[in-house]
Structure formats: C-alpha cells, structure tokens
Amino acid sequence: MNAYIPNFTIPQSIHNDTLLNRSGAEYLPFTIFINYLIDRGYAENTIELYGGAVIRFLNYLSRYLELLDEPLTAKVLRKIMDSYVYYLLRGQSSSNKKIKQIAQDLKREKNSEWSSLTVIDQAITQFILVNEIEKTDILAISDSQFLNVNTRVKSNAELNKITLNAAMVGFIRGGMKKTKRTTISALNLKKPKKKSKIFITKTIELNQINKLIECASSYRDKAFYALLAASGSRGHESLQIRLTDIDFDKREVRLVSPYNVKRSELNLTPKEESLLAWKGRDTTSTFLIEPFKTIFFENLELYLKNERFSRCNHPFVFTNSKNNRPYFASDRSSRIKMFKNAAQKSGIEDIEGISPHSLRHTYATYVLNWLPLKDNQFGLPLVYVQKLMGHSSILSTEIYAKIDEELVKAHVANANEQLFNNTLDFNQIKLKYHENEIEKLEKKLAA
C-alpha cells in the first residue's frame, strides 16, 4: 500500500516561496493570503507562523474531504471544523477513528497545546475571511488535482459530494450574532472567562507603603507615591495634576481632566499632548487618608523647593528631572522600574506584578474593609468608596468588596480561637448575629 502524500508541503520559506499542490500547481488562495499579510506589514516570523498553520489545516481538510462518505452540508462542515481542534490536541491518540487515521496519514507526531489554539484559529480565520473578500474558493473544485489521492483522480460522483464553494465562509458568517463587537472564530473556540481581579491584581500591604515611599530616590517620587496612596487615584490622574489643582492652605487636591483645560494653558508639544490620558472620573474631589496625606504635602514642599525648576513653561507639578518636561510624558516602563526598585529596597521580596497602580488597589481595599469607623465598625459603604475612587459605575467598585484575604483570615482565626477555647458555641453565634441584626433595625427605625 502506497504511503499517503499530503496535498501540500510547507515550503522552505512561506514568506518568499509559492505554495504548490501535489500536482505542482500554485494554490492561489494561499498566495492571496500571504500577500495580504505582507502588504499589511506583518513580521516575517508571524507570516511563517500563520502560513504554516494554514497549510497544516488545508492538509487536514483535504484528507477529511477525501474520506467523506456523505454530502458536504453546512452542518457537516461545522463538524469537520470542530473536529480539527481535537485533531490538534489528540492526533493519533484520538478515540475518533477518522481523526486518528488523518493524523496517521499526515504523520502528525506532536500534538498542540491548548495555549497555541488561539494563534492557529486566528491564522485560519483570517485566511478564510481574506479569500471571502477576494471571492476566491478555498478549495478550487474545478481543480481535480486538489482532490487527488496518490495520483488517483476522483470520479465525478465523488467530486459532486464535495460542494464547498461559499460554504466555508457561510458557516462562519451565518451563525453570528449582530452585536457591537463580534469575534469571528473559524474553529469555534470558546473565549476563556477572565479571572477575578482580586486574584490577578497585586496590592501592597498597608504597613509596607511608608517604607516604600521612604526608599524612593527623589522627593518627586516620594510625593507621587504618597499621593497615590493617599487618594487612590489612577497613575495618570496624579501625574497630570497642575499647581492650580492643589490648595496648599486647605491641603486638598483636585483631579481635573486635561481635556477640560484650554490647550494653550498646558503648553505641550504635539507628542506630549498625544500622551494625555483620562479614563473617566465621576468627581474632581479626592478624599486623602492619613498618614499618606501628610507625607504627600511634606514631600511636595521639599520637591518644589529643591528639585522642580521654578521656571517650567508648563503647569504640571511632576516633571522629568532631565528636561523639565511633564513627567507623564516620560517612559512608563522606567517609572515602573523605579517603583519596583523602591519596593525592593523597602524589603518587599516579591515585586512581580506591582507598579504605582498597586497603591490604588491598596487604598480601595483599605477604605472598603479596614478604615476605622464609629461604633467599632470598619470599612465604608460601597457607595462611599465609589465616590472615593471616582468610579462612574458601582460595578467597578464591587471588585474590592470584602476581597482582602487577610481580612477573611482574621475573621476565621478569631472565630476559630473562640470556638476552640469554648468561649463561644454555635447557639451563641446565632444569638449574637440576631442581636446585631435587631440593633441595625432599631437604628434604621429611629433614623
């Protein structure tokens, strides 16, 4: 029995060489796809990666159609496409006989990882859509050589079963929902759920921030970090404060959108102006917490006196020490590096994932869970914290609600200690809970 010959062989250079089918004819849809990538400035490595993924898919598709024993409908085509994912992941170890045979015929030895499926899907989807625009059949049905197996030409009856034409793009387009943002996936990959921000956002312990600020290399950075910790503001909001946004007598700071200020007052270069940012904030007020409020104004005074050039021709407080231009226009990665250096000097061992933005998350977690209140209570109501953070939607604030793991550990440890020492039984816990609920209700009625 002759060994199976794949319809396409990956050329030595996908970027430069023409893809030929097994009969030696140029495969035009692939040429159109590669030219599309080249025209749009894709990197050569990306073109090689995408091209290889498409060729492997075409070989799979060719072999599957050769083995097909039923009419090719949209439903069948969807099944073929869905099966490709399992072919990539399982290959010759697949329990599906057809997929296993195709993997053996194509000598697929190494299976793909889940992490690589997204790139493969992007390549195939783009290949299909580019040829849809160019009105090119992905499988040229008129070219019998494309369906040739070991130089055997299929009969007309066999060819009639394979009626791809526009079905390839039809099954992608047909089932799409008309939403504002539509993600097209040839392989029908499911978008993974995002992890909760509570697990992926790196915060800094409140008792470590003082030391971190002390370890900053300049009064400017000390003032900047202290402002972030005191206000919970976003990095770009603090970096873009102007001298007129600060009330030194009342010790207050306002956060004002630069887009609400006349451009002539900012005196920025076109490049600097393009770097202005404003995510959106519901209030210009900040609610500064101690001790960082005092630390900010102390270091701000030292910074303005010793470091900031008094004749800057722009109104922004924080400046680049090298050229006196606004600090927000400096390299962001350098600012993060300086922050991490200060964190490391302060004794924070794990600096992976922390940045000036971490101070905003520390602030939110603190005021929502730990801020001391009257009547031995802790943590502000969610709607208050929404105002503190400048969130336009309370949904943005909810990610900080009771998410501090240390707070949870403290509650559990306290309960465990009381239960272990027999100072509290479960009936007492229930009684205490109901007493607290009655007290809350009485206060509400009395208000």
- Beta partners for 378? 372
Q: Given this model, what pLDDT does residue 149 score?
A: 29
* 326 pLDDT higher than 50: yes
Measured CA to CA, the distance from residue 41 to residue 31 in angstroms comes to 16
Q: Are 216 and 225 in contact (CB under 8 A)?
A: yes
Most confident of 42-46, 178-182, 387-391: 42-46
| Confidence class for position 397, pLDDT limits 50, 70, 90 | confident
pLDDT digits (tens, 9 = 90+) for 26-40: 888 899 999 989 888
pLDDT digits (tens, 9 = 90+) for 41-71: 888 888 999 999 999 999 999 899 889 888 8
Angle at 140 between CA 138 and CA 141, to 5 degrees: 125
Q: Are 333 and 340 in contact (CB under 8 A)?
A: no
Range of weakest confidence among 24-38, 126-140, 168-182: 168-182
Q: Give burial (CB, 10 Å; 0-12/13-18/19+) of 71.
A: exposed
Q: Given this model, what pLDDT does residue 227 score?
A: 96
Measured CA to CA, the distance from residue 379 to residue 370 in angstroms comes to 5
Measured CA to CA, the distance from residue 319 to residue 244 in angstroms comes to 15
Measured CA to CA, the distance from residue 82 to residue 88 in angstroms comes to 11
* 187 pLDDT higher than 70: yes
3-state secondary structure at position 436 = helix
pLDDT digits (tens, 9 = 90+) for 262-277: 878 898 888 888 888 8
* 146 pLDDT higher than 50: no
pLDDT mean over 4-14: 89
Cβ neighbours around 126 below 10 Å, total:
19
| Confidence class for position 340, pLDDT limits 50, 70, 90 | very high
Measured CA to CA, the distance from residue 205 to residue 358 in angstroms comes to 10
CA distances from 7 to 60, 64, 110, 128, 155 (A): 9, 12, 20, 18, 18
In the chain, % helix, strand, coil (3-state, to 5) comes to 55, 5, 40
Q: Given this model, what pLDDT does residue 43 score?
A: 85
pLDDT mean over 308-313: 85
* 195 pLDDT higher than 60: no
Q: Higher confidence at residue 447 or residue 81? A: 81
Measured CA to CA, the distance from residue 190 to residue 118 in angstroms comes to 10
Q: Given this model, what pLDDT does residue 104 score?
A: 94
Q: Model pTM?
A: 0.50
Q: Given this model, what pLDDT does residue 176 score?
A: 37
Q: What percent of the chain has pLDDT over 90?
A: 30
Q: Are 32 and 133 in contact (CB under 8 A)?
A: no
pLDDT mean over 85-105: 90
* 225 pLDDT higher than 90: yes
Question: Average pLDDT over the chain, rounded to whole?
Answer: 78
Q: What is the dihedral of CA 147, 152, 153, 154, to 10 degrees?
A: -70
pLDDT mean over 239-259: 93
- Beta partners for 323? none
Measured CA to CA, the distance from residue 21 to residue 8 in angstroms comes to 5
Q: Given this model, what pLDDT does residue 167 score?
A: 42
Contacting residues for 130 by C-beta, under 8 A, at least 6 apart? 32, 33, 36
| Confidence class for position 165, pLDDT limits 50, 70, 90 | very low
Q: Are 81 and 58 in contact (CB under 8 A)?
A: no
DSSP letter (8 states) at residue 26: B
Secondary structure E strands in 197-279: 246-247, 252-253
Q: Which of 399, 364, 406, 410 is nearest to 385 (CA)?
A: 364
Q: What is the dihedral of CA 281, 180, 194, 123, to 10 degrees?
A: -130
| Confidence class for position 22, pLDDT limits 50, 70, 90 | confident
Extract the tokens encoding 73: 């409908």
* 447 pLDDT higher than 70: no
Q: Given this model, what pLDDT does residue 56 score?
A: 94
Q: Are 144 and 154 in contact (CB under 8 A)?
A: yes
Contacting residues for 212 by C-beta, under 8 A, at least 6 apart? 204, 225, 342, 343, 346, 348
Q: Higher confidence at residue 261 or residue 413? A: 261
- Number of helical (H) and strand (E) elements in the chain, helices listed first: 20, 2
Q: Given this model, what pLDDT does residue 164 score?
A: 40
Range of weakest confidence among 109-113, 166-170, 254-258, 279-283: 166-170
Extract the tokens encoding 221: 């950075």
Q: What percent of the chain has pLDDT over 70?
A: 74
Number of residues assigned to the chain = 447
* 140 pLDDT higher than 50: no
3-state secondary structure at position 1 = coil
Extract the tokens encoding 246: 């600060």
Q: Which residues of 134-149 are buried (b: 16+ CB within 10 A; e: fewer)?
A: eeebbbbeeeeebbbb
Q: Are 66 and 152 in contact (CB under 8 A)?
A: no
